[in-house]
Structure 1
Amino acid sequence: MRARLANPLPAADTAAADAARARQASLTKPPGSLGILEDLAVFMAAWQGRARPRIARAQALIFAGNHGICARGVNPFPQAVTAQMVANFRTGGAAINQLCRAFDAQLSVVALELERPTGDFTTGPAMTEAEVLEAMAQGAAAVDPGADVLLLGEMGIGNSTVAAALARGLFGGHATDWAGPGTGADAEGVSLKARVIEEGIALHRPDPRDGLGLLAAFGGREQAAICGAVLAARQARVPVILDGFICTAAAAVLHPFEGALAHCLAGHCSAEPGHRRLLDALGLRPVLALDMRLGEGSGAAVALGVLRAALSVHDGMATFEEAGVSGG
């Protein structure tokens, strides 16, 4: 990761963004009246490099991994559920399958050594640096460089604890600021998560500027894969829609590298308590806030529907001149 980020990352196309803003100003509506839809069209223009962006191919990726921290009882479900849900994704039975069908995204699932969970981060590093880099490489390899937009999601029993640990390591505070119910932990379970995270912080004393070190200390393979996918998408100038708290916390590991997440949209603000705090820390404005907390890319997929709407009006509306309407 350090080597990849040592080189300048592709920048947004400011000329295309300016052209998209000029088109917005010429459309038959009061300036700014479509709110965030206008901003989304300009964002997509900047990363696609064209004034009238399109989505012919939307790729959705779910990365799945298992976590040694589950040995501490931080999740009420057994880790076998991760593989069971991967099978459900692959046979089309999950929520994300229906949402991808509804909003026309092609879904792929990448399971990352589910039979070999990461280490318990309260007793040592979750992964070696080599394991982090291998997971990142798998995430990068899964990205279609010809996609017009990439949706990212995850699955992994125990990974809300990992996400909270990453957020705590990056942005400080106390683990109680970041730990939430995840898949359904009660108040006692959330308190346990926070105590476990603080144990890990005390053991590893993470440097918030060292994303690779954070992933090695706390991360799951799916979190590392998400980072690899975000970087590969940036190299291909593919805009990214992040899902909820877990996905955003994984991508946040890249935040210390200035501008590394500039091509990313926050699909939604989830009901997981730490997500709003994390979005604020990253300066990301969510497209939606629907009290979702499912994960698996579901919020990103619904946001894709809004993004498609934004591009449809941007491309299809008549200009004042075309419509013969005064005021343009």
Structure 2
Amino acid sequence: MKTTVFKYIIYLVLTIIVIWSLNGVRLTLEHANDLINLIVSITSITIAILVTFFFSKLFAERQDRVQRKANIDEYSKKVMALRKIAHRIMGDYEFWKFAPKAKQNLDKKYTDLTVEQFRSQKWEDYDKLTKELDGELAPQAYMALRGLLNNEESDFEFYKSFNKLKNYSLSEIGRFIEYCGFFWAFCDEYKQDLTFDNTSSYYLNKMKEQYAKIKGRKIDDSKVLIEIMNLFSDFQERIFPEMYFLTEQNQRRLPVHFTWIIVNLVIYIAIMIGALYLYLLPMCIWAKSALLLILTSLLLVNTIDLIVGLFMIIPRELRINEVYKI
């Protein structure tokens, strides 16, 4: 921000200096019209070059974003499958027999309580709530699974066949990372007591189906809990961070040199329009000369600014810092 302000202060100062240096120039009507033609020619050619350069860079940037979006969509399919697994686990009463009070109270009494609210309460309220929910990790894990559902309107909306892709915000992805960690921590702490052996075949088969969509292989029936734990860990440590990075890249603002060129382009267009008005509007030679010298000063300073900008852009264009594959 400071650099931009400093740049335009210099721009303004240079423009004033050039106007002052041309203050003594007096133009005849013929010379004024010749200068107008020259300004229009120069700005027209320059605008054509800048527009071509700008849109070529814009299309290249768009192509990069399209490629990243394709990768994001692949992750989005896996995220939807994980969320369906979370929904099945939430509905599995056999799994939550380890913590029946947590499931019962969270389903009936604290239906809107989130992990963030649970963890941000005052100590007295937190202590009272953990006693009512019969623990800390189990209710936290249950609310984490509920958080992964992300306030879906209904089970029908959640499971309809065409509800496969969703654009997740950075905030949602960040929360999902924490939710996966909460559920994994709960399973890791109580893995000796937790099991999917008594889960109904319908629920278990649906979970296995979603697992295969994510991993590209069948789940190991002899260690379902470990496989599910590792799945949540993989999302927390790899899939969600990669998805976050790609989404952040696609939401970033255009590089600063795009703005620089746009400003130069707008000024060139303004100069050309001003020159055309001077050519068409009847006015005294003194007024036309004064305005024309101002336009000439702007043209000179804007061209200098453009050249400086291009020299700064070239090293940045040749420096490849982007991450194209993760």
| Greater relative CO, 1 or 2 (CA 8 Å, sep 6+) | 2
**In which range does the TM-score fall when normalised by the shorter chain?**
under 0.3
TM-score by length of 2: 0.22
Structure with larger Rg: 2
More helix per residue: 1 or 2?
2
